[in-house]
Structure 1
Amino acid sequence: MSAIHSTDVVARLADEFGAAVSFGTPLAAHTTLRLGGPAAAIVTCTTTDMLAGVVRRLDQEQVPVLILAGGSNLVIADEGVDAVVVRVAATSYSIDGAVVHAEAGTNWDTVVAASVVAGLGGLECLSGIPGSTGATPVQNVGAYGVEISSVLRRVKLLERASGNVHWADPADLHLSYRHSILKNTDTAVVLSVEMGLLDDGLSAPVRYGELARNLGAAEGDRVAAAQVRDAVLKLRGSKGMVLNSQDHDTWSAGSFFTNPIVSREDLPRVLAAIRERLGEETAVPQFASADGGVKLSAGWLIERAGFSRGFPGEDARARLSTKHTLALTNRGDATTADLVGLARTVRDGVRDAFGVNLHPEPVFVGAQL
């Protein structure tokens, strides 16, 4: 059933589950890019049981569904989507000893802050990341040398095909760099997340050089979790990576491209292309990847391909952040088409300069790169 022909089905959800329903609402109000056209309907679910029930009912009626929570990782077409948007708005969390449990709609940084206040370590490097807790295992959220996979105990899932709810172990999710089997699929909905943290008030070992320098620590040191959180928030803020409605540099989806992973076999060709363009003495940032390849810095490549902060200029409605070239931003009146055009220009420029393909981190809905 087309979503635009499902008005009666959607309207009944309010009576059956107590969900709030609206029709034809622009999705720009629900994404951190502040972009996106209307949905056929938006159904807001404020409890986990409501969320599971609503998705089951829509699936039974074969109504197209888009799950949306914090909206921090979505690029939605200007035309909107012919789908019923189910908003994940269950926002409770609890801390029992060193175990943190949070429902999927809980603001992620709220969970991080509460864990630090409780004297727990492990999440502090993930401070300031926008979006919901339920999104963290979907793309194995990470920052400053830490990924959610390092603390994840289990994830409660609604399996769409069967309608069953069960706890999944991290191994079942095949977590890798900014990816899991949940990403870019509609097979399951995350209902809640459980994490096991450190209970001595100290951070996880600091693995990121820039953060270690800001802390006056050596890589591998453990520092007070609260101190690390403060340092991470300052670093992210300096790069426009902490949401601020008054700062258009934060009207973004965060880092737009993932750091490319180059195979060991292809690395000499890529390094030769870089040094041919930039000089033989160019030091190229390289990091070992879990799959045996070599991870390069997307931001470094973008800048060396000739794209500066604020590109393409002050008159552009979509520009690279003035603080960080890895973020693509809406300057207030951009369209999704503007943003996608900018993304293509940057992607193609890096490929033409160095023969490296950049891949977007956000999920595209109704639009494509």
Structure 2
Amino acid sequence: MTSFADLTTIGVGGHIARFIEPTSRVGVIEAVEDADSKGLPLCVIGGGSNLLVADGPFNGVVVRDARRQITVPDEAAPVENGERIVHVNAEAGCNWDDFVAFTVELGLEGVEGLSGIPGTVGASVVQNIGAYGQEVAGAVESVEAWDRRDKRTLNIAAADMGFGYRMSALKTSMYQAPAVPAGEFFPTPRYVVLSVTFALRHSATGTVGYGQLAKALGVEVCDRMETAAIRNAVLKVRAAKGMLEDAARYLQPAMAGTKRDVNVRIALEAQRRQLAAGADTPVVRDPDRHSCGSFFMNPVLPADAADRLPQDAPRFPATLPDGTAGVKTSAAWLIDHAGFHKGFKVDESSPAGLSTLHALALTNRGDAAASDIAALAHAVQDGVEAAFGVRLVPEPVVVGMDLR
């Protein structure tokens, strides 16, 4: 029997009553409709990188889209004396990094800074993934989705997606307040992504939009570099922080075929080199990669609340959910300065701990249960709130537990 521990990057979660992998667009819609018509709990899962599920059995239906095709409706050749926008369509089940690698190889600019983010194309727009100066919102043209309430397909323009910091109209439909699930649509949004059309630019170079990345490349922010060089630098920076998934997960039966074989081989070889393992050595388990990535969202605060933070706390202009001006600070900074340093555990015997490379990642150090991850999350949340008056909100979708 398949469990969430088999399907998620953090490797925890209970057994699943029914697991379905539709291989057609109609099959995805029918699987969702069948679960909804029977009133069964429904979880549409992508790469399992942004999901933390309780240890008990999930007495519902888990749907994982097995469609992974990428198509280019436009002619990809550049035109003379001008820019060329190229539209690329990807089915929701396509591995996100497979998609990024495809676009870079095709000579397209727009998502190279999002290299190495675990998950799928469908999940990318729900979460509005972002890193190193890019967000997926900046590359999306439209999203094809199934509306579970009105029982119809929609083509949602990017302008109507409600994109914000780690937010979209799709994700909003799941919550009545931060970390508080909505009654009707949770843990799957009202709108189930079927495919995404991206508008990318035909260019072999991209803009280096983040200081840490510029340093790694030896250039200045806003300089232009080959997109392949940007992608490689992003992968190296993410690996150094433990923010790549464990490539060996794709050797397991539950994950087989969900990422292109050539890209699995490349990722495995890079992981071997990082862990200083020989070419003939089986890839060893890297606990720092067994996480949900960044576990807490960077808080966006009203100006008066930000003023109460220590003077050296990071501050960036941001927009509050009501559209007014606010200040974004760093969750990692708050965690570290509240005394929760890299490698922290609730107690030494705990199989869950903060990454030894990045304080923002909660990791499964061995045979952790979801309850161990939850205990660590609560300890960090309580400590940060006591120190700074800020309650951290989890970034992953949390099912069967309360991490408010």
Q: TM-score, normalised by structure 1?
A: 0.88
1:252 Cα deviation from its structure 2 partner: 0.4
Amino acid at match of 2:45: L
Moved more, 303-312 or 205-214: 205-214
Amino acid at match of 2:93: G
Moved more, 163-172 or 309-318: 309-318
Amino acid at match of 1:288: P
1:262 Cα deviation from its structure 2 partner: 1.4
Does the C-alpha gap of structure 1 residues 173 and 330 become closer, same or farther in structure 2, counting only changes over 3 Å? same
Tell me whether 1:347 sits opposite 2:381 in the alignment: yes
Match of 1:209? Answer: 211
1:241 to 239, 243, 259: 243
Amino acid at match of 1:295: K
- The CA distance in 2 between the partners of 1:360 and 1:63, in whole Å, is 25
Q: What does 1:284-363 align with in structure 2 at a 5 Å threshold?
A: 284-291=313-320, 292-312=325-345, 315-363=349-397
1:172 Cα deviation from its structure 2 partner: 1.7
1:163 Cα deviation from its structure 2 partner: 1.9
SS in 2 for 1:154: strand
1:194 to 183, 192, 197: 197
Equivalent residues of 1:81, 1:365 under 8 A apart: no
Match of 2:137? Answer: 149
Q: What does 1:75-86 align with in structure 2 at a 5 Å threshold?
A: 75-86=52-63
1:161 Cα deviation from its structure 2 partner: 1.4
Q: What does 1:1-369 align with in structure 2 at a 5 Å threshold?
A: 24-95=1-72, 96=74, 97=76, 98-183=86-171, 184=174, 185=185, 186-203=189-206, 205-244=207-246, 245=248, 246-270=285-309, 274=310, 283-291=312-320, 292-312=325-345, 315-369=349-403
Equivalent residues of 2:295, 2:394 under 8 A apart: yes
Equivalent residues of 2:300, 2:319 under 8 A apart: no
Equivalent residues of 1:90, 1:104 under 8 A apart: yes
How big is each residue's C-alpha offset from its partner over 1:148-178, in whole Å with a ceiling of 9 and x where there is no partner?
A: 1111100000000122112101222211000
Amino acid at match of 1:197: L
- Tell me the matched-pair count: 335
- The CA distance in 2 between the partners of 1:363 and 1:54, in whole Å, is 21
1:314 Cα deviation from its structure 2 partner: 5.2
SS in 2 for 1:255: coil
- The CA distance in 1 between the partners of 2:164 and 2:57, in whole Å, is 30
- The CA distance in 2 between the partners of 1:162 and 1:264, in whole Å, is 40
- The CA distance in 2 between the partners of 1:266 and 1:160, in whole Å, is 38
Equivalent residues of 1:69, 1:89 under 8 A apart: no
- The CA distance in 1 between the partners of 2:362 and 2:120, in whole Å, is 20
How big is each residue's C-alpha offset from its partner over 1:200-232, in whole Å with a ceiling of 9 and x where there is no partner?
A: 2111x3221111111222222222111100110
Does the C-alpha gap of structure 1 residues 290 and 297 become closer, same or farther in structure 2, counting only changes over 3 Å? same
- The CA distance in 2 between the partners of 1:337 and 1:58, in whole Å, is 27
Amino acid at match of 1:287: F
Does the C-alpha gap of structure 1 residues 109 and 169 become closer, same or farther in structure 2, counting only changes over 3 Å? same
Percent identical residues = 44
- The CA distance in 2 between the partners of 1:81 and 1:299, in whole Å, is 32
SS in 2 for 1:46: coil
1:62 Cα deviation from its structure 2 partner: 2.8
- The CA distance in 2 between the partners of 1:314 and 1:323, in whole Å, is 18
How big is each residue's C-alpha offset from its partner over 1:18-65, in whole Å with a ceiling of 9 and x where there is no partner?
A: xxxxxx532210111111101221111122221012212332333332
- The CA distance in 2 between the partners of 1:264 and 1:27, in whole Å, is 40
Equivalent residues of 1:236, 1:242 under 8 A apart: yes
Amino acid at match of 1:233: L
- The CA distance in 2 between the partners of 1:342 and 1:190, in whole Å, is 32
- The CA distance in 1 between the partners of 2:44 and 2:65, in whole Å, is 7
Equivalent residues of 2:353, 2:363 under 8 A apart: yes
Match of 1:5? Answer: none
1:87 Cα deviation from its structure 2 partner: 1.5
- The CA distance in 2 between the partners of 1:63 and 1:297, in whole Å, is 38
- The CA distance in 1 between the partners of 2:99 and 2:146, in whole Å, is 22
SS in 1 for 2:225: coil
SS in 2 for 1:153: strand
Amino acid at match of 2:147: E
Q: TM-score, normalised by structure 2?
A: 0.80
SS in 2 for 1:289: strand
Report runs of 4+ in structure 1 exceeding 3 Å deviation: none
1:121 Cα deviation from its structure 2 partner: 0.9
- The CA distance in 2 between the partners of 1:314 and 1:215, in whole Å, is 38
Amino acid at match of 2:354: L
Gaps (5+ residues) in structure 1? Answer: 1-23, 276-282
1:300 Cα deviation from its structure 2 partner: 1.1
- The CA distance in 2 between the partners of 1:174 and 1:125, in whole Å, is 22
SS in 2 for 1:58: helix
1:68 Cα deviation from its structure 2 partner: 1.1
Amino acid at match of 2:24: T
Gaps (5+ residues) in structure 2? Answer: 77-85, 175-184, 249-284
